[in-house]
Amino acid sequence: MTISRRSFLGSSIALAGCGAASSHPTALPPAGTQPVIVATWSWGRTVCERAQQRLSAGASLLDAIETGINAVERDPNVRSVGVGGRPNAEGIVQLDAMMMVGSSLEAGSVCALERIATPISVARRVMERTRHVCLVGAGALEFARQMEFAEEELLTETSRTEWEAWRASGSPGFWRTPPGPPPTASARDHDTVGAIGIDGHGEVIVGLSTSGLEWKLPGRVGDSPIVGAGGYADAEVGAACATGVGEEVIRVAGSHSVVERMRAGMDPQEAVEDVLRFLRRRRGEQLGDAQVAMLAVRRDGVIGAACLRPGFELGMLAGGAVGGRAVAPLDA
Ligand code: ASP
């Protein structure tokens, strides 16, 4: 089922008593009292189901979101995250991930990490075990080894076959395309797992994990591990995350822009739509038919979701129930 903005808001089980933003920008809404999680794409439901199991067993929201994202990372049928993710132009799977805790603004991320199936967990260790925020490439892998993560081959036979076919096609690759009309990014090119949660006690967490854009140039980093672009969380306000063509999200500091709009008084739906409209206006034809989708959760559990192109969906945990929704593109 595809939903418009109005029906989406109407169906949100997280709306009780707080449907509209305060007219006073500094008057923050009260924190919600129940856990709410939203997560990107069809596997967002998996995230929510696993997270709910952990929360019911008494786990923290941070543990619950990590476990939910781990399940997607380990699923070889999700072709844009973790094991089975499509490789870069050299046939190597390079992963990006980020975790951010809204109460402390602590964050950890890894970029272009190879051979580790669960980069979200490495990102969490960067946050908790170092004074850094971001580790890249060989340094990130060495850190993961020190944290005793197991190394494994992430390229599945299916991904290898597809990559070989792409290479044999002689295509220079989407990301080497010279200046000119923007190329078409198909729906299968990408798709990050991104999850935002509130725990009902004032905590707000965001986590993302992705293999990024298929056949990307080696070393390319997308928006997902960039604090403020792919994800941002501030427990005073809420959190946001993004999926789609990361280069476009980075240009507008997408997730931070959404959170700051909420801080200024926009409700979450207005905030995600406003950032995507800004991106569309500023990028014009250069945006081509790129997909960008954004989710937001305010600290009281009100959610927002918007996308530029058809096909985006989300998973949601609210009111103790897990569900999923298709999201209609802007102005559809
Ligand atoms: N945003 C991710 C990236 O650019 C991919 C995606 O979410 O579709 O790496």
The per-residue pLDDT for range 174-197, each reduced to its tens digit, is: 666 655 555 555 545 569 999 999
Q: Is 156 an annotated catalytic residue?
A: no
Residue 219 confidence (pLDDT): 95
* pLDDT tier, 79 (very low <50, low <70, confident <90, very high otherwise): very high
* pLDDT tier, 302 (very low <50, low <70, confident <90, very high otherwise): very high
Residue of 192, 221, 241 best suited for mutating to test ligand 1, as the one with most atoms within 8 Å of CB? 192
Residue of 43, 110, 243 best suited for mutating to test ligand 1, as the one with most atoms within 8 Å of CB? 243
* pLDDT tier, 251 (very low <50, low <70, confident <90, very high otherwise): very high
Residue 19 confidence (pLDDT): 32
- Taking CA atoms only, the protein residue closest to ligand 1 atom 4 is 246
Q: 282 CA distance to ligand 1 centroid (A)? A: 20
Q: Is the CB of 190 under 6 A from ligand 1?
A: yes
Radius of gyration of the chain (CA): 18
Q: How many CB atoms lie within 10 A of CB 172?
A: 11
At residue 279, φ and ψ (nearest 5 deg) are -60, -45
| DSSP state, residue 113 | E
**Cα distance between residue 225 and residue 230, in whole Å:** 6
Parallel/antiparallel/unpaired status of strands 238-244 and 134-136: unpaired
Q: Is the CB of 192 under 6 A from ligand 1?
A: yes
Q: Is the CB of 208 under 6 A from ligand 1?
A: no
Closest CA to 117 of 163, 171, 90, 154: 154
Give the containing element (helix H, strand E) for 327: strand 321-327
**Cα distance between residue 154 and residue 56, in whole Å:** 31
Contact 254, 292 (CB under 8 A): yes
Residue 21 confidence (pLDDT): 37
Q: Is the CB of 248 under 6 A from ligand 1?
A: no
Catalytic residue among 46, 67, 192, 210: 192
Report the predicted TM-score, pTM, of the whole model to 2 decimal places: 0.90
Chain-centroid distance, C-alpha 26: 27
Contact 290, 182 (CB under 8 A): yes
Contacts of 255 (CB under 8 A, 6+ apart): 206, 228, 229, 230, 231, 232, 239, 240, 241, 242, 249, 294
* Low-confidence winner among 22-26, 31-35, 51-55, 133-137 (lowest mean pLDDT): 22-26
Q: Is the CB of 213 under 6 A from ligand 1?
A: yes
